Amino acid sequence: MTTFHGVDLPDLSGTTAVVTGANSGIGRSVSQALAAAGARVVLAVRSIERGHTAAHGIGGDTEVRELDLANLDSVRTFAADWDGPIDLLINNAGVSGPSLTRTTDGFESKFGINHLGHFALTNLLLPDITGRVVTVSSQAERLARLDFADLNWAQRPYQASRAYNDSKFANLLFTAELHRRLTAAGSGVRAHAAHPGLVATDIYQHDGPRRPIDLMWSVVLGLLAQDADHGALPVLYAAVADIPGNSFTGPRHLAHMRGAPQLIDRSEPAQDPELARRLWNVSEQLTGVGFPLPSGTGTR
């Protein structure tokens, strides 16, 4: 049993975990904890060079594979090259930022990477997943208002914070519908979501001139934020704890911004099954990737 800042990890020898965005921040901390518990950890990263640097510091049984969630061809290549069971898929990678940018496939980047990239990756890998899918969301989902008429921000004036909130809301809806589909398929795989709390990571660092809101965030982060190791706790808890499917985990203190992990609530809209189904159907259309398991069967 390995204790990682209050989370007891079982012996994970013989298991395989895939962690997206594993070269820095929460993803690196999660990877390090899993590797210390004996897991083989695959760092799925956009930069192979940065991935190898991270793997060297993590130690243990680690492997680096290229994955660019902003490019669906890269997602498909990663999945096509995969061989063997996956005990844990940790959908951690995420982007923020003040400006409108787009993925290779033309999606608004926060929605395209944080949600659609992970949606496609999970479904493509699902026949090989045997344990859990943990997707990193955020309590920012409470401020979301998905606009299905303009998910790609083609007509609306761009609002960076709302785009981020919407992507985190989409992560929760995705988790809920994934859990429903897995259950209907008779699969033993569980889907969970995790809120890391307020964490000082690179996601808040942006290029370009410093705006007043950036300076404000620097003060807030300096006073209240926890480090990436503590931000990893809810993710690790979702990965190994004996909790019901479709659980949402987060820190227990300071309005779920800091502290040891526990189960937390999500907004009422994030519990809407019809909204989750609608987003799933749209995501299938946008990515060209669907749920691979027929009803009444489990994973192989």
Q: Who's near 298: CB < 8 A, 6+ residues apart?
A: 185, 186, 187, 188
H or E element, residue 191: strand 190-194
According to DSSP, the residues that pair with 235 across neighbouring strands are none
* pLDDT 10s digits, 106-156: 999 999 999 999 999 999 999 999 999 999 999 999 999 999 999 999 999
Active site residues: 164
* pLDDT 10s digits, 254-291: 555 768 899 999 999 999 999 999 999 999 999 999 99
- CATH homologous superfamily of domain 2-287? NAD(P)-binding Rossmann-like Domain (3.40.50.720)
Please give the model's pTM, rounded to 2 decimal places: 0.90
Spatial separation of the C-alpha atoms in residues 239 and 233, rounded to whole Å:
10
**Is 90 exceeded by the pLDDT of residue 62?**
yes
Q: How many angstroms separate the most distant Cα atoms in the chain?
A: 54
Look at the block and give the residue holding tokens 């930022």. Answer: 97
Secondary structure (3-state) at 40:
strand
Domain ranges within the chain, ordered by starting residue: 2-287
